[in-house]
Chain A
Amino acid sequence: MVNIEDYGDFETAWCPGCGNFGILKSIKQALVNLGRSPHQVFVASGIGQSSKTPHYLKCNGFNGLHGRSLPPATGAKVANHELTVIAVTGDGDCYGEGGNHFLHTVRRNPDITMIVHDNQIYGLTKGQASPTSEIGMKTKVQTHGVFNMPLNPLSMAISLDCSFVARGYAGKVSHLTSLIEKAIQHKGLSLVDVLQPCVSFNKLNTFKWYSERVYEMDDPGYELNDCVKAFDKSMEWGEKIPLGVFYVNEKPTFEDNLDVLASGPLYKKSPSTEKVDELIDGFV
């Protein structure tokens, strides 16, 4: 039996009222609901306020470099695919600095859950535009307002055929918890983009702004494996912002494609060095 206390209770470096608290609570609750013990869980992160999450969760963690949460998460999954591997990242970390890893990790499809704290701003560096900042948002750097088209993470992920695509909201903890649970249970790369108000730097996309717009999708006729409809749904943004699972496509994972993992985790296997002499013979 796993309890929420097992995942610890830490003092954080987050601002009071930050959306990160809701996400942290949802991650802990999802892991408890799924009965995962802390030693079975591995959280990789990059750099940013979101990426401090491994320090506030009592489990295994690798808080690496900016933009690089996915490559070490992939490496860890190859080494021990019995671990529940979660990559916690942010809009700047994942869609900006680490954009290339996002594209190719979707293609690779390891069984990793990506939780992207998407606050549409750079928090740790104190308020510059991120890849998802809205056009016109003024910052100390974007003094004339943002010109660059905001990136739509869900549309991008669906167009790449990411095997699980969902959006949550830090202000709806129980809904987000159930999304994270589904994402962890899904075999393959799961993206959970989480709308997260930044109370210090984003004066546009506030709790009030999100709360007036978000709604939970509940159409019983919505088919999760229809990528064209999912793409269409992912374009809905503005007056109304849908939350929930947008797209699911079950397909072989990266680990499924590695025959060597079928008989157990790689780190438990002894390297078969007795075959070295056979290779040496090949050069004689």
Chain B
Amino acid sequence: MNLDLNIKIGGAAGQGLQTTGMALAKTLKKSGFHVFATQYYLSRVRGGHNTFNIRISDIPVSAMTEDVDLLLALDEATIDQHLDEINDGVVLVDADAIKVNNSSESIFHVPMLKIAKDVCGDKIYSNSVSMGAVIGLLCLDISDLEEILKLSFKKKGEEIIQKNIKAAKAGYDYVKENYPGGCKFAVDDPGKKENLMLINGNQAVGLGALAGGLQFLAAYPMTPSTGVMTYVAANADKFNTVVEQAEDEIAALNMVLGASFTGVRSMVTTSGGGFALMTEALGLAGITETPAVIFLCQRPGPATGLPTMTEQGDLQFVLTAAQGEFPRCILAPGTPEECFYMTAEAFNIADKYQIPVFVMSDQYLADSLFTLPRFDSSKITIERHLLSDQDLRTKKEEYKRYKLTPMGISPRALPGQEGVLVLADSDEHDEYGHICEDAINRIKMNDKRMKKLEVLREEMPVAKVYGKPDANVSLIGWGSTYGPLAEVVDILKGEGKSVNMVHFTHIHPLPVEATKKLFSKTKKTVCVENNSTGQFARHLKLDADLSITDTVLRYDGKPFSPEFIIAALKEKEVI
């Protein structure tokens, strides 16, 4: 890695932080850099202190580092709270508006408000001035920013586009004139790298759902899951998909079960609190053997918790949610690429096994932007596992929705198909779906349902190993920690340490023997999780009989950085 630069923009909610951050991230991606961007925001529409981080590199990056190289301060809180994150970096600030020790060499003052007023007649253009100034300090060409501004303000008309471009240009020119060499992080244009996408986890889940044949989405808005609902809604008409905002999460999952039972691929999107309301309906999916995809985007709990922050605190809840015993499947993608392919995969598993399938994400993955190779839609297949009208015309016996079979999976017909009647019940039922309280029937039906879990277990792919398979130390992660852990392995490899990462995306059921084999030569196993009790470590013990030797846990609402993990490993003397 020749280039690795971390830009942090700080400001209040409502100050245009996200617009500025997104436009800069897109511009830097357009200029050919690999980009990773995250947001840290509070649960409010106005005020508070929020940040937008953009890391750029000449190689792929998928984690945020802690040292800030360029701090763009749009409010005083940014100076107060983040100045100490600057080790060797610089600050870009409008010193007319924000109190700061102007004499330091690392402070680059640009009178953004004044320029905006002078050039465009309105201080609201100061964000575009700041974008131009950033590009100027990095000594990049301004044309990519101009292109991005054109796209960003397309809906607002030509006059607004031109004013923003003018403001950006003025900020850029001010820097060129007053700081002719830019700042010390002046970078070379890396040359164009075509075909990279800039996409966040929620967008990738929405895209994967549409690619996987989603036709009905019901949800109640809840941060940080809402991005999937809005992404699907924005594209629903093109895809013959219906999106309904339900009155509550209880209605959302019950609607989805009605739609799925009647033959369309359906999903809910929610976060932990909303899912808590869905638990009874989860059991209904279990006993009626109705396919459903549940996108659960975690945030710190309990109850309302920290609504806009991140945590991996719901795994044990999801593993055991709802009364009784029934099979479920849990997937947890680690990157937007995996969000895309695994959401589509979730629909195939749900249809094949007629079970609820979770796609678990969290605020960090949901809101983080990655540059990635273009997704390949041809890799996605849609496997419905339904009886056709032709199958039904040639059938010999009366249709039984819950016919006992060796694999536990009953052939599925749909209500409305001629020649069959399809009946489901939340009570224990017989093969036809009628209520049945007979003990022998109960055992048969319970065994039938649980058999599906064991068949699925054998089909689940084993965790992926990053680094040398026979390393002394294995760092174990699941879901969104993939990026920071991969970087930790790279850094420690550079230090000559024997460390790999075993990353789980297929969380439950775990293929037991194959999973155990991954650790046959490992001396130390460290589970790294964004929660306070090591929930995945407990799951490994229960589901695969694997005991891990140590944990690194974080539960302050923030995601892992490579530095945080390495410091913890050193403190625990694991490495």
Identify the A interface with B (CB < 8 A): 38-40, 42, 44, 47, 52, 54-55, 58-65, 68, 70-80, 82-83, 100-101, 103-104, 108, 258-260, 265-267, 269-273, 275-280, 283-284
Contacts and interface: CB of A to CB of B under 8 A. Distances in A.
B433 A276 contact: no
B426 A79 contact: no
Contact of A104 (B251, B280, B426): B251
Given A80-B415, A273-B382, A283-B203, A71 B246 contact: yes
A52 B435 contact: yes
Nearest to A261: B242
A79 B288 CA distance: 17
A60 B416 CA distance: 8
Contact of A80 (B255, B281, B416): B416
B422 interface: yes
Contact of B257 (A64, A108, A266, A270): A64
B320 interface: no
A66 to B, nearest CB: 8
Contacts of A72: 254-255, 257-258, 261
A242 to B, nearest CB: 31
Contacts of B211: 273, 276
Contact of A74 (B210, B255, B375): B255
A267 B237 contact: no
9 contacts: A63-B426, A64-B254, A72-B257, A76-B259, A108-B244, A267-B215, A267-B264, A271-B215, A273-B213
Nearest to A267: B263
Contact of B247 (A75, A78, A103, A276): A103
Contacts of B415: 39, 42, 60, 76, 80, 83
B435 A55 contact: yes
B498 interface: no
A283 B339 CA distance: 15
B281 A68 contact: yes
A65 B416 contact: no
A260 B242 CA distance: 8
Given A68-B254, A273-B213, 18 more contacts: A39-B417, A42-B262, A44-B258, A54-B423, A65-B254, A65-B281, A70-B251, A71-B255, A73-B258, A75-B256, A75-B261, A76-B415, A79-B259, A79-B262, A82-B416, A103-B247, A271-B265, A273-B382
A279 B424 contact: no
A39 B392 CA distance: 13
A78 B242 CA distance: 8
Contacts of A58: 421
B247 A280 contact: no
Q: How large is the interface on B (under 10, 10 to 19, 20 to 34, 35 or more residues)?
A: 35 or more
- Scoring B218, B240, B414, B420 by chain A CB atoms within 10 A of each residue's CB, the highest score goes to B240
B377 A100 contact: no
B215 A266 contact: yes
A271 B212 CA distance: 8
Contacts of B196: 284
B199 interface: yes
A276 B377 contact: yes
A101 B426 contact: no
A280 B257 contact: no
- Scoring A44, A79, A269 by chain B CB atoms within 10 A of each residue's CB, the highest score goes to A79
B262 to A, nearest CB: 4
Contacts of A47: 426
B242 A258 contact: yes
B491 interface: no
A140 B207 CA distance: 55
B248 A279 contact: no
Contacts of B265: 271
Given A39-B420, A100-B247, A283-B199, A75 B433 contact: no
Q: Is the interface of A mostly helix, strand, loop or mixed?
A: helix
Contacts of A39: 415-421
A266 B240 CA distance: 8
Given A65-B254, A277-B377, A280-B375, A101 B237 contact: no
B257 A104 contact: no
B262 A80 contact: yes
B120 interface: no
Interface string B232-250: 0001011111101011101
B426 A64 contact: yes
A280 B377 CA distance: 9
Contacts of B497: none
- Scoring B213, B241, B415 by chain A CB atoms within 10 A of each residue's CB, the highest score goes to B415
A60 B213 CA distance: 25
B380 interface: yes
B260 interface: yes
Contacts of A104: 246-247, 251
A146 to B, nearest CB: 26
Nearest to B206: A279
B129 to A, nearest CB: 28
Contacts of A62: 257-258, 261, 288, 423-424
Contacts of A63: 423-427, 435
B559 to A, nearest CB: 22
Contacts of B414: 80, 267
Given A76-B262, A78-B242, A266-B215, A271 B422 contact: no
Nearest to B239: A272
A71 B252 CA distance: 7
A42 B416 contact: yes
Contacts of B433: 61
A259 to B, nearest CB: 7
Contact of B421 (A38, A273, A278): A38
Nearest to A254: B244
B244 A78 contact: yes
B181 to A, nearest CB: 33
A85 B349 CA distance: 29
B520 interface: no
B541 interface: no
Contacts of A273: 210-211, 213, 239, 377, 380, 382
A73 B257 CA distance: 9
B288 to A, nearest CB: 8
Nearest to A71: B254
A260 B250 contact: no
